[in-house]
Structure 1
Amino acid sequence: MIRLALTIAFALSLAACDQNMDVQPKYSEYSRAPLFRGSVLRAPPANTVARDDLDGERAATTKPALSAELLDRGRQRFSIFCSPCHGAGGDGDGIIVHRGMPHPTSYHDDRLIAADDQHFFDVITNGYGAMYSYAARVPPKDRWAVVAYIRALQLSRRASIEDVPPDQRTKLTEQP
C-alpha cells in the first residue's frame, strides 16, 4: 500500500515537470484585466524616470558648444543619414529624388535659414512630412552635431570674402 502511494506520488511529481510557462494562466499584453479595471499594461507611477531617460533628456535639451570636433561629427552623421535625401550641400537633391521620391526642402530656403536650431533638432527627432523620425537611429548629441553642420552649410552658401579673417583672405584670393 505504501509502495503504491509512493509510486502514484512519484508519477504525479513527474507529470508536473512537463508543464512550462506557456501553459500557465496569464494575461496577454493588450487584453483587459478585471483586477486592474482596464488594460493589463500599466502606466508608470508619477514622477518616475526610466534608467537612461534622464541622460537622454539632458542631452536633448542641452545644446553643446560649437567646436571643430562637433562640426566634424555633424558632417559624418549628415553624410550617413541626411545626404541621401537632402544632398551633400543641403539643396534637397539627394539620390532619392533621382529615384522618384519627393523633393525635400533645401536648407538654403529663407524659411529654414530663419528657423531656430530647436526646429531642426525636433524634425530629426520626430520627423516631418515624408521624413520619418531618426530618434532611434541618431542619439541626441549627434542630432545637435547635425544641426551645427546644417548651420555651417547655410553660412557657407551665403558667406562673402568679408566674412573671412583678414590674415586668411590672401590664401583665398591668390591665383593658383
Structure 2
Amino acid sequence: MSAPALPETITPVNVGRELLMPALLLALAAYLSYGMLTMQVPDSVAFPGPRFFPLLITIGLVALTILDIADIFRRAARYRQHTAAQTDQVELAYTAPIMVSAAEPTKALDHRSLAWVTLGFLFFALTLPYTGWVIGAGLLFWCVARGFGATRPIFSLVVGLTVSSFAYIMFDMILGLSLPSGILGGSF
C-alpha cells in the first residue's frame, strides 16, 4: 500500500529560504515608498502625477507579498499536519513511536535558467541606451522566457516586442514620460 500523495507542502527547514524572496520584495516596496515620500513634486502637477504609478506598484508588491507569505506558512502548516498524521499512523501500526521523515528532496539549482535570466538583465541594463526600450525590453522578455523554460523562441520574442512596444506607447506617448528610444530614435 502506497502512502497518499502529499499535497503541495514546504518543510520547516525550507521556510527560511522561501521567505527570502518576500523579504526582498518588501524591501523593494519600502524603497519605492521612500522614493515617493521624498520626491519633489511641483504643486502644478496634475493627476495622476509622478507618484501615482509607483504607488500602484508598491501597493501591488505589498499585496502579492502578503499573499505569498500566507501561502508559505499555509504549506508549512500542511506539512506539519501531514507528518503528524503519518507519525500517528506509524505508532498505531507498530505500537512503538517511530519518527517518519517525509522531507522532500531538495531540487538542484538550474544554473542554465539562472544564467539566462541574470545575463538577460545585465544585457538589458548595459545596452538600454543603445538598443532602446522596445528592443531592449523585448530581448529581456525573451531571455526571461528562455530561463523559465519557454520552448518557442520566436513566439517569445514577438510577445516581448509587443509588450515592450505597448509599454513604450503607454509611458512615452500617453503619460509623457520619456523612455530611451535607442536605434529606433528617428522612428517615433
Q: TM-score range by the shorter chain?
A: under 0.3
TM-score w.r.t. length of structure 2: 0.21
Larger % of helix: which?
2
